[in-house]
Amino acid sequence: MYLKNIEVHGFKSFAQKINFEFHNGITGIVGPNGSGKSNVGDAVRWVLGEQSAKQLRGGNMQDVIFSGTETRKPLSFASVAITLDNSDHKLPVDFNEVTVTRRLYRSGESEYLINGSACRLKDINEMFYDTGIGKEGYSIIGQGQIDKILSGKPEERRELFDEAAGIVKFKRRKATTIKKLQDEQGNLVRVTDILSELT
């Protein structure tokens, strides 16, 4: 699996629709300061479901929408789509190519799509569990992140190893099941209370 393409439109400094094509190997993005190199990484983080504006170097989520320049009007939406080659089927879907899209409008409306079909953020998160690619994954290492990992708490570092070992999806499922069990136990207590009131 590898990243084949990033299409950005209206995202941060990319007012026009732009396609970045990648090949199976090393690609470097170079350019002068402030030309938008880090915005490419932000675009990938964002499409993978980043919910923190701070992580994207903004104050609120609407800051990712192109805000205009002296010569260009602001846009009303931001859209990013990444296409991954999935011919090795590392992503648990039947497609040989997977395109994940996220759009956000100034009105606050937003949408996620997998191969053109609307989906929930949860579907995207689940598709990327244990691949290292999700927004919590280790495939995007931002500036200063290595220091953060090295000086972080052991539990935080453990999360990276869990992802690499492929056990995150089982941990998430376990947590969901424990929550359901707790809810059911709560229901059982209520039923017992009602029964004791009736008898």
Residues annotated within the binding site are 32-39
Binding segment for ligand ATP among 60-68, 130-138, 145-153, 170-178 (CB under 6 A)?
60-68
Give the total of residues touching ligand ATP (CB under 6 A). Answer: 14
Spatial distance between the Cα atoms of 2 and 70, rounded to a whole number of angstroms: 37
Contact 83, 98 (CB under 8 A): yes
59 near ligand ATP, judged by CB under 6 A: no
Q: Does 37 interact with ligand ATP (rule: CB under 6 A)? A: yes
Stretch that binds ligand ATP, among 36-44, 95-103, 166-174, 175-183 (CB under 6 A): 36-44
Among 38, 99, 125, 139, binds ligand ATP (CB under 6 A): 38
Would you count residue 12 as binding ligand ATP (CB under 6 A)? yes
Buried b (16+ CB within 10 A) or exposed e, 48-77: bbbeeeeebebeebeebbbeeeeeeeebeb
Closest Cα to residue 124, out of 37, 67, 45, 22? 45
Please, what is the minimum distance in Å from the beta carbon of residue 102 to ligand ATP? 15
- When binding is defined by CB under 6 A, the residue of 25, 31, 59, 116 that contacts ligand ATP is 31
Question: CA nearest 9: which of 85, 101, 134?
Answer: 101
Q: Where are the beta strands (DSSP E) in 26-96?
A: 77-85
Q: Does 103 bind ligand ATP (CB under 6 A)?
A: no
- Residues 78-97 close enough to bind ligand ATP by CB under 6 A: none
